[in-house]
Structure 1
Amino acid sequence: MSSHIYSTGVPRAKDPSPTSPEHKPLPKANAEAIDFLSSLRQEELQLLFFSENLAMVSDTGQPKGELSIKVEKGKYKEDFGVLSNCLFVHAYSRGFLDKMLCGNSVLGYLSWQLETMEQHSHEFIKFLILPMERKITLLKQDDQLAITRSVREGEDMKTGVTFFPMSSIKGFISEAANMVLLRVMAWRQMVPSNAHFLALDTDGKFCHSTYQALGFQTMQVGHQQTNVFIVEQTVHSEDSIPMSCQYYLLRDGHLAKRVQVGSPGCCIITKMPIVREEDEPEPRPVFEKKPLAWEEDLQLYSRFLDRKEELRLSHTSYLRHHPEAQALVSDFLLFLLLRQPEDVVTFAAEYFGPFAARRPATPALRSSYRPSPFRSLDPDLDDDSESN
């Protein structure tokens, strides 16, 4: 899997104070939306790394173009040269609308909670009289999001930059983040209930974005039928009518069909992809305990006899080279049988105590002094215990 590295190339604003052309307060994402984004985990998102291609067709089924979406792991280099792992999203579409060439591209870098670090989007329609082109750049700068928007209609060009505090746009879902979020919903087979995210409308203004599950449906893909999970996203612009788009998603997040509500045509896959199933951990093998009858195993019994003979020869050799050991043990056993003490352990400690290398010297006068064989070998400690 390839990895993309990108460094910011947009100059920072000279005035870092946030500004906004809107006089009314910004809409806010609710707790349900923020909690859903907080639940995302890197291990889950890594299952959604793949590329897909869809055909753009008219309402009569005529091919009009293509749509390509790719999500993979990338690296993002910030201003201070710090590299961080991120999600890299690249989507590209190109086709014809009423015989006019049009296209759209999105390139985005996202955190693992789908926070937009940087995104570049470009949209154009080659009208015969007034060609339209729109570019929007989102760039996170410290604790702000800078939005640069430029619109060209014919020869007329309008450009503006707006800054928003990151704390005021929590729950914002950019175009790149939306493509990943849809895959998450498909993988989980659920849509967060009553969640209101933030999005940008066609005028570049913040508004609410909601998602609704429309249930499951059987869909024909080539010569194969498959179940799809349908999610409808609606961008609730405050200055124009809401815009809705329906996504038909396979179990692993692949987009099978996309329909812009109110627009002719749709995007649809022409070939069934390899659907990835959830990896289930294999159960640990259970090995039944069986008694080891090593005496009946010729190899194990042969090793036992070899080891036994090896130890016997080693012990015999040691005693042959150290006859004093056998004499010492024999003397101790004879003394033990003669005395027959009740406490054999203490008797053995008193017997072998004089052989200790670190044993303190016995006092010359010790009429009532009988040291315990278990006393400390440190003379100072013995003296202290005696004085007590």
Structure 2
Amino acid sequence: MSSKVHSAGKDYQPSGQERVPLPEANAEAIEFLNSLQPEELQTLFFSETLAMVSDTGEPRGELTIEVQRGKYRDELSIMTQCILVHAFSHGLLDKTICGNSLLGYLSGNLETMEQQSREFIKFLILPMEHKMSLLKQSDQLVMNRSIKEGEEVKTGVSFFPWHSITGFISEAANLVLLRVMALRRMVPQNARFLALDTEGKLCYSTYQALGFQTIQVGPQQSEVFILEHTVHASEGIPMSWQFYMLSDGHLAKRIQVGSPGCCIITKMPILRKEDETEPRPVFEKKPLVWEEDVELYSKFLERKEELRLSHTSYLRQHPEAQALVSDFLLFLLLRQPQDVVTFAAEYFGPFGANPSPSPPLRSSHRPSPFRSLDPGDSADSVAGGAD
């Protein structure tokens, strides 16, 4: 990793930083990230809002977290599906306006493709503003930082080889990872992830389960799963946060250890449940005796009468049809052929647009050409029957 800080127009290169080996995530952390499933993550797409309150319960602001499905265009202009995380807060710190915003694009296993964050405190004398961007470029993750204190601005850029940050959890990825752990009601044992400390240096990040607790929100009670997230800074004191998570991943309470105040929900959300595929209903086959069913039998009689009237009306409008059928039945009874079907075809053949040149009514003298020969018949006997 290389780093360069620009302050007041001068370059500063931290001494010995190139010689410091980068920390690595362990197998437990990597295995947990690889276990994430798209169906599981889809249940975590929702937004939530918490109130920021002081240690005495006075309102101090508001925190909103939103996770949803999104699209991301990479450096090659290729559009891919991603997890979009947007979080922002605004409030008062000792009567001073402060706030932060976060926008992150994550892959399906919570790799950070891009993240933009900003934090500000509007002190009257020396206002502060911190900005940081993370961007995946080719085979590395590029970090740009900007720190503004009053009129002084410090900027820096760092490069992390992509293979060296396997198991890295950014701020945006952390918000999704907490929901996953809440949904599973478990924390991977002895998992050691990677994160960035307040100085922008790569360090270890761990999660610990603190058990379950019942909380009261208005008239409702609900059980929460308590997690503690700790960022072990490469230098200095570790920073820890405690998260009280509802069963579907909603955040009920957030506490930064050692800081006054917290974030809490003021209204119990409608807990989301994982869609369960219900088995298809099985309908037993029962014999249908429709004659005994009054409604079906009534419909049968109505339909029967409807068809009778329709047929009678048609024959009344076309008397030639009845005459044609009567003539056919007369010839049929007079000739009494063995093959009635072929006899009918030959009888009605001359009525077609292209009548057959064969002699009429020959089916009464010989077997049907459409029938297969019986095993005992021969071609000669059939031919003799035609004479």
Q: TM (normalized to structure 1)? A: 0.74
Query: How does 1:350-365 map onto structure 2 within 5 Å?
Result: none
Query: How does 1:1-388 map onto structure 2 within 5 Å?
Result: 21-291=17-287, 316=340, 318-322=342-346, 327-328=366-367, 344=375
Mapped contact 1:294–1:300 kept (Cα < 8 A): no
Question: What's the CA shift string for 1:245-294, capped at 9, x where partnerless?
Answer: 00011111111100001111100010111111121111111111334668
Q: Could you say what secondary structure the match of 1:328 adopts?
A: coil
Equivalent position of 2:356 in the other structure: none
Unaligned runs of 5+ in 2: 1-15, 308-328, 330-338, 347-360
Distance 1:290 1:120, change over 3 A: same
Mapped contact 1:196–1:209 kept (Cα < 8 A): yes
Deviation at 1:22, TM superposition (A): 4.4
Provide the C-alpha distance between the structure 1 equivalents of 2:133 and 2:344, rounded to a whole number of angstroms. 91
Please provide the CA RMSD for this pair.
3.0
Provide the C-alpha distance between the structure 2 equivalents of 1:351 and 1:213, rounded to a whole number of angstroms. 93
Provide the C-alpha distance between the structure 2 equivalents of 1:291 and 1:202, rounded to a whole number of angstroms. 76
Q: Could you say what secondary structure the match of 2:43 adopts?
A: helix
Mapped contact 1:105–1:123 kept (Cα < 8 A): yes
Q: Could you say what secondary structure the match of 1:68 adopts?
A: strand
Distance 1:351 1:244, change over 3 A: farther
Provide the C-alpha distance between the structure 1 equivalents of 2:340 and 2:164, rounded to a whole number of angstroms. 86
Letter in 2 for 1:232: E
Question: What's the CA shift string for 1:214-262, capped at 9, x where partnerless?
Answer: 1111001122111111111011112011111000111111111000011
Identical-pair percentage: 63
Q: TM (normalized to structure 2)? A: 0.74
Distance 1:325 1:188, change over 3 A: farther
Provide the C-alpha distance between the structure 2 equivalents of 1:325 and 1:144, rounded to a whole number of angstroms. 90
Equivalent position of 1:17 in the other structure: none
Provide the C-alpha distance between the structure 2 equivalents of 1:131 and 1:44, rounded to a whole number of angstroms. 42
Provide the C-alpha distance between the structure 1 equivalents of 2:216 and 2:128, rounded to a whole number of angstroms. 36
Letter in 1 for 2:25: A
Deviation at 1:112, TM superposition (A): 1.2
Mapped contact 2:75–2:137 kept (Cα < 8 A): no
Unaligned runs of 5+ in 1: 1-19, 307-312, 337-343, 356-388
Provide the C-alpha distance between the structure 2 equivalents of 1:39 and 1:109, rounded to a whole number of angstroms. 19
